């Protein structure tokens, strides 16, 4: 009998068997046995007590995004689990590997509207890769194995395990076997040699090819394969927001960022190229704008691991199903070595124009209020362009992904698909824990930071070294920008009376400073970067700054607004 352990202990040991060393969570009635079990395993796995379950999920996401491992969160039943739904949905949209363990009322009480009972599996099914309820202790190890296999294989995503309290208490003989096969689940489609051949031929013959790189390259650890592919073909390469850092900012073939607030060149050239090569990206509407006018002249090659993405938004000429790490290498073998220097040079006038009309004024203003862009540019430089960028959502996010620079992969943690305000602060905590040797810079707006500002408590408790830069314009800036452009400057409910963020930081024992003068900016940034430990910098920026270029929602990618041209 004494080799039997509880379901809760089996859960902890299963997680350790999966290589988990960090868990973000928050206890509560229905998950107490699990928290009791982890008390005995403190030397093997650290639990980070967040201040809200949404924070647990975003921290797990941040951890997964910088470390490449599966992020893990513990939440209790009912409100604990429903609070986690936003982070789970965010992870689903951005294909982040995550396992959320939720407590549930005892199986005898299920369906009776018991205290803190919610149909968590039912709620989470549409926003998870897999959601599963465990009602007896014997099922725990196998379910955990399956959860990690599903979350991390193929196109990654969030998995939710809902464990009843009696299953947590039940006694079992522990045995663990990793999952490598589920008969109904094919994580990596088999490579079709015909598709590889067709893609290689089309790429070899292309006169004006353009590659669009998404997060699939990072998720598939295919950065090296991408580099070899690009350098053999000489193809100009644009990145989606989540694809940023898959190749360094200063790579000669990197022509910039796609999308609504992307660079002029790649957006314009999308509608001029003859072959569009999409690599691990999903043609989000923020990238394509109006699909009826999107890249109609081009033949489209789509590399993706998920068959459901093929032809979902853009009709492909050649699809290449499979893991990009394999398919890119195969196509590279078959294709000709080419250069496209004339075509590449065509991007130059676009970037010159963007520099003159937008960037120069944004990064190097000489008078007036501080600009978001100049702050971001200076922070990037102060960190030797090698920090991890974490953002919240809004104007500062678009500015940050535009003007931060990247030297290595996994350097951007941002909520792309769901656009979750409040993502930044908890994600930055996870990002730092996932990459403890890197500097982590969080840019947040004054709106978004207040959605999850309680996580400053987590930073204080665990001494997490995160540099927090609030780009404070006392507005919900992106909504205000749309009001200015599309709603006749009727600023409905977008002004914010903010607290003194430095006083808040002070309450959490976090060093801080407020800056509103250009002369003090360099010094403040240097102080922040040199400070050991977390630091909050409240930068008072121009109240009505605009993010340009901008392609208005649902319009053609060539319909680019530049502001004051």
Partner 1 sequence: MEDKTLYTVTIFSENTVGLLSQVTSVFTRRQLNIETLSVSPSAIKGIHKFTITVYSNREDIVKVVRQIDKRVDVLKSYFNTDDELIHQEIALYKLSTPEFIKIGSAEALIRRFHAQILEINENCVVIQKTGHYAETQALFEELSELIGVLQFIRSGRVAITKSKIERLSDMLQERERKNSSL
DSSP string covering 471-486: EE-SB-HHHHHHHHHH
Report whether 298 contacts 273 (CB < 8 A). yes
Q: Three-state DSSP class for 424? A: helix
Could you say whether residue 171 binds partner 1 (CB under 8 A)?
Answer: no
Could you say whether residue 292 binds partner 1 (CB under 8 A)?
Answer: no
Annotated active-site residue 116? The verdict is yes
Query: Is the Cα torsion angle 244, 250, 252, 258 positive or negative in sign?
Result: positive
Residue position matching structure tokens 């408590």: 457
Round to the nearest angstrom and report the end-to-end CA distance of the chain.
79
Which of 32, 116, 231, 527 is catalytic? The answer is 116
Among 42, 177, 183, 490, binds partner 1 (CB under 8 A): 183
Could you say whether residue 24 binds partner 1 (CB under 8 A)?
Answer: no
Q: 517: which residues sit within 8 A by CB, 6+ positions away?
A: 370
Among 4, 311, 489, 500, binds partner 1 (CB under 8 A): 311
- At residue 547, φ and ψ (nearest 5 deg) are -90, 115
| Rounded Cα gap, residues 282 and 240, in angstroms | 10
Which of 115, 364, 486, 487 is catalytic? The answer is 115
Residues between 390 and 419 with contacts to partner 1, criterion CB under 8 A: none
> Where would I find the H helices in 43-171?
53-67, 79-93, 120-124, 140-152, 165-169
Could you say whether residue 185 binds partner 1 (CB under 8 A)?
Answer: yes
Could you say whether residue 112 binds partner 1 (CB under 8 A)?
Answer: no
Name the token pair of 279.
């690599």
Nearer to partner 1, 81 or 547 (CB): 81
Nearer to partner 1, 133 or 512 (CB): 133
Q: 291: which residues sit within 8 A by CB, 6+ positions away?
A: 285, 313, 314
Q: Which stretch binds partner 1 (CB under 8 A): 5-13, 127-135, 231-239, 481-489?
A: 127-135
Q: Is the peptide bond before 549 cis (omega within 30 degrees of 0)?
A: yes
| Rounded Cα gap, residues 403 and 374, in angstroms | 9
Which of 9, 18, 53, 455 is catalytic? The answer is 53
Could you say whether residue 366 binds partner 1 (CB under 8 A)?
Answer: no
Could you say whether residue 182 binds partner 1 (CB under 8 A)?
Answer: yes
Shortest Cβ 296–partner 1 spacing (Å):
17
Among 110, 121, 418, 460, binds partner 1 (CB under 8 A): 121
Nearer to partner 1, 171 or 312 (CB): 312
Annotated active-site residue 165? The verdict is yes
Which of 69, 165, 371, 467 is catalytic? The answer is 165
Nearer to partner 1, 162 or 330 (CB): 162
Could you say whether residue 177 binds partner 1 (CB under 8 A)?
Answer: no
Specify the DSSP class assigned to residue 189.
P
The alpha carbon of 352 is separated from its chain's Cα centroid by a whole number of angstroms, namely 30
Annotated active-site residue 115? The verdict is yes
Could you say whether residue 462 binds partner 1 (CB under 8 A)?
Answer: no
* Interacting residues with partner 1 (CB under 8 A): 121-122, 125-126, 129-131, 133, 150, 180-185, 306-308, 310-312
- The residues assigned a catalytic role are 53, 115-116, 165, 478
């Amino acid at each position: 009998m004494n080799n039997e352990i509880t379901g809760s202990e089996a859960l902890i040991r299963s997680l350790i068997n999966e290589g988990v060393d960090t868990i973000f969570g928050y206890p509560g009635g229905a998950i107490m046995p699990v928290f009791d079990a982890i008390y005995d395993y403190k030397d093997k796995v650290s639990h980070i007590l967040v201040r809200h379950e949404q924070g647990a999920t975003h921290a797990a996401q941040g951890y997964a995004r910088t470390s490449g491992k599966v992020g893990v969160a513990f939440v209790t039943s009912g409100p604990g689990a429903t609070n986690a739904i936003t982070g789970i949905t965010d992870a689903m949209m951005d294909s982040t590997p995550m396992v959320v363990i939720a407590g549930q009322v005892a199986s005898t009480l299920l369906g009776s509207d018991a205290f803190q009972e919610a149909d968590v599996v039912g709620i989470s099914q549409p926003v998870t890769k897999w959601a599963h309820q465990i009602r007896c202790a014997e099922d725990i190890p196998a379910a955990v194995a399956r959860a990690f296999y599903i979350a991390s294989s193929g196109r990654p995503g969030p998995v939710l395990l809902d464990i009843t309290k009696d299953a947590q208490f039940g006694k079992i003989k522990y045995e663990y076997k990793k999952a490598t096969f589920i008969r109904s689940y094919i994580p990596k489609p088999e490579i079709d040699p015909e598709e590889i051949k067709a893609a290689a031929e089309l790429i070899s013959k292309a006169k004006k090819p353009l590659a669009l790189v998404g997060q699939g390259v990072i998720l598939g650890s295919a950065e090296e394969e991408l580099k070899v592919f690009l350098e053999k073909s000489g193809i100009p390469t644009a990145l989606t927001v989540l694809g940023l850092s898959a190749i360094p900012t200063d790579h000669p073939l990197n022509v910039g960022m796609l999308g609504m607030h992307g660079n002029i060149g790649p957006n314009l050239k999308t509608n001029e190229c003859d072959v569009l090569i999409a690599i691990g990206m999903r043609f989000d509407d923020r990238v394509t704008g109006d699909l009826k006018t999107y890249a109609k002249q081009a033949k489209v090659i789509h590399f993706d691991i998920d068959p459901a993405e093929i032809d979902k938004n853009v009709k492909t000429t050649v699809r290449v199903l499979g893991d990009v790490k394999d398919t890119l290498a195969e196509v590279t073998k078959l294709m000709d070595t080419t250069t496209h220097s004339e075509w590449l040079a065509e991007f130059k006038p676009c970037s010159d124009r963007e520099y003159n009309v937008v960037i120069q004024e944004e990064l190097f203003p000489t008078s007036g209020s501080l600009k978001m862009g100049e702050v971001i540019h200076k922070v990037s430089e102060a960190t030797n362009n090698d920090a991890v960028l974490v953002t919240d959502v809004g104007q500062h996010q678009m500015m940050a992904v535009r003007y931060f620079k990247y030297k290595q992969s996994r350097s951007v943690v941002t909520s792309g698909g769901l656009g979750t305000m409040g993502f930044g602060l908890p994600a930055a905590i996870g990002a730092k824990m996932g990459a403890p040797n890197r500097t982590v810079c969080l840019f947040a707006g004054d709106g978004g930071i207040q959605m999850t500002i309680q996580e400053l408590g987590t930073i204080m408790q665990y001494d997490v070294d995160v540099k927090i830069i609030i780009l404070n314009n006392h507005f919900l800036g992106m909504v205000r920008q749309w009001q200015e452009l599309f709603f006749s400057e009727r600023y409905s409910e977008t002004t914010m009376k903010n607290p003194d963020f430095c006083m808040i930081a002070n309450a959490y024992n976090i060093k801080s400073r407020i800056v509103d003068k250009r002369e003090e900016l360099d010094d403040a940034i240097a102080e922040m970067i040199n400070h050991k430990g977390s630091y909050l910098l409240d930068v008072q920026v121009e109240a009505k700054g605009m993010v340009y270029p901008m392609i208005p929602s649902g319009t053609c990618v060539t319909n680019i607004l530049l502001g004051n041209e």
